[in-house]
Amino acid sequence: MHLTLALRRALLNRAVRCVSAAFGLVVYSFGNYMQIQANIGLSPWSALNLGTSNHCGFSFGTASILISLGIIALDLLMREPIGLGTILDCLVVGWAMDFFLWANWVPMSEFLPLQLVIMVGGLVIMFVGSYFYMRPGLSCGPRDALLVALGKRLPRFSIGSINIALLAAVLAVSMLLGIMPGIGTAITILGNGLIMDLVFHCLRFEPRSVEHENLLQTWNALTAAAREGASASTPPSSPNL
């Protein structure tokens, strides 16, 4: 594959979109970190990460990455396409969470009104990060892809009810690992949809309008750009006299 002008443009386009998605995932991770520091109960997925971390001796971020890799395997088994955004989600969130927990920029609170502010503020920041992460259209994260795959197989149920059932299952596993739910867990499960709608409305963002690109489509776009550039740079052959 020759580095033609068309291919350079295609690579630059994906690089800019990856940077935007990675920035959004870092912001998302900070919101997730704030929910942990609120100290009134974790979201189901964070509780699963923490329970895995406690039992296996991994850091929180490493547990998140390993769980994400397992979910990607499930996504592939369920024939759900993955993209650059899926891989970025798997890696960036784990690394960013480890960094924020190490930096400890937001002290863990014991004062309930402040805990509630930190929890809700974390949810708002998380969905602002989701906006920057989803807008480039590089495919869903592993957990969202799993939700979509389940939704396709259970068409009689709304995606919201499937999400609640999935979160309940994740919460049950985290409880088996010794992580008990709290007020924050209920806020996360019940308030996710409301806060997400509010943030996306303020940003004038409709996630269902985003056309996502999977890995196969990315590869096809790059190879097409390489062929286009190669054909444009090939001089026409001289006619035989």
pLDDT at 232 over 90: no
Among left, alpha and beta (phi > 0; psi -120 to 50; other), residue 179 is beta
**CA–CA distance, 236 with 226 (Å, rounded to integer):** 18
In this prediction, residue 164 carries a pLDDT of: 82
CA distance 122 to 28: 9
Domain boundaries of the chain, sorted by first residue:
5-225
Question: What are the structure tokens assigned to 116, written together?
Answer: 């509630």
Encode pLDDT of 6-46 as tens digits.
Answer: 889 999 999 999 999 999 999 999 999 999 999 999 999 99
Q: Using one digit for the tens of pLDDT, what is the confidence trace for 54-82? A: 999 999 999 999 999 999 999 999 988 89
Among 69-83, 128-142, 221-235, which stretch is predicted with the lowest mean pLDDT? 221-235
The pLDDT value given to residue 189? 82
Q: Is the pLDDT of residue 4 over 90?
A: no
Contact 92, 30 (CB under 8 A): no
Q: What are 22-32's pLDDT values in tens digits?
A: 999 999 999 99
pLDDT at 200 over 90: no
Mean pLDDT (the chain) is 89
Per-residue pLDDT, 238: 53
Of residues 235 and 82, which shows the higher confidence score? 82
